[in-house]
């Protein structure tokens, strides 16, 4: 694949990660049950596109500049991506709901963290089910770390694509 096409993929991944970050912020601050739960899906999409930018995929190399200053360690980013994928699957009912113990729960509180989304997630090949949760505070803290980095690389990659 030529370098222009690879830059196109990189620009699209950075652009998509920013789009999903903005969407996550709007959804996680909603008081609508469905929108709050969809914030987990949007956050997964944001993290997944950031992951693609720093790791690449078959036929498209990683973006070395983005990888060099990624605000999350690659191991941390990979674990977060997998964690959010499992939570996303529960929110979207992609897991087998006939299995015992699967759930999605959303709770609001007066004080920090104000909002928490909890889901069941499958762990390991044994298939045991456990609980995982993420709070509004965790989501906003993560996005506060990712957003400046995504914005910087989005502008850089889109600038290259349009010949700036």
pLDDT at residue 163 in the model:
56
pLDDT at residue 159 in the model:
78
DSSP 82: H
- For the chain, what are the domain ranges? 3-93+135-161
pLDDT at residue 53 in the model:
97
pLDDT below 50 — which residues of the chain? none
Global pTM reads 0.91
pLDDT at residue 112 in the model:
87
CA 93 to chain centre: 18
Distance CA 112, CA 135 (A): 9
pLDDT at residue 62 in the model:
94
């Amino acid at each position: 694949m030529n370098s222009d096409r690879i830059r196109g993929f990189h620009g699209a991944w950075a652009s998509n990660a920013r789009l999903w970050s903005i969407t996550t912020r709007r959804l996680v601050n909603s008081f609508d049950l469905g929108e709050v739960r969809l914030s987990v899906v949007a956050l997964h999409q944001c993290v997944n596109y950031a992951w693609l930018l720093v790791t690449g995929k078959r036929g498209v190399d990683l973006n070395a500049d983005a990888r060099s200053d990624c605000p999350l360690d690659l191991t941390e980013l990979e674990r977060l991506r997998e964690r959010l994928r499992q939570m996303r699957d529960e929110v979207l009912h992609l897991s087998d709901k006939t299995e015992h113990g699967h759930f999605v729960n959303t709770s609001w509180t007066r004080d920090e963290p104000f909002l928490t989304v909890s889901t069941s997630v499958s762990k390991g090949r044994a298939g045991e089910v456990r609980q995982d949760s993420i709070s509004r505070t965790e989501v906003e803290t993560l996005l506060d770390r990712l957003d400046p980095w995504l914005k910087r690389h989005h502008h850089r990659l889109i600038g290259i694509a349009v010949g700036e």
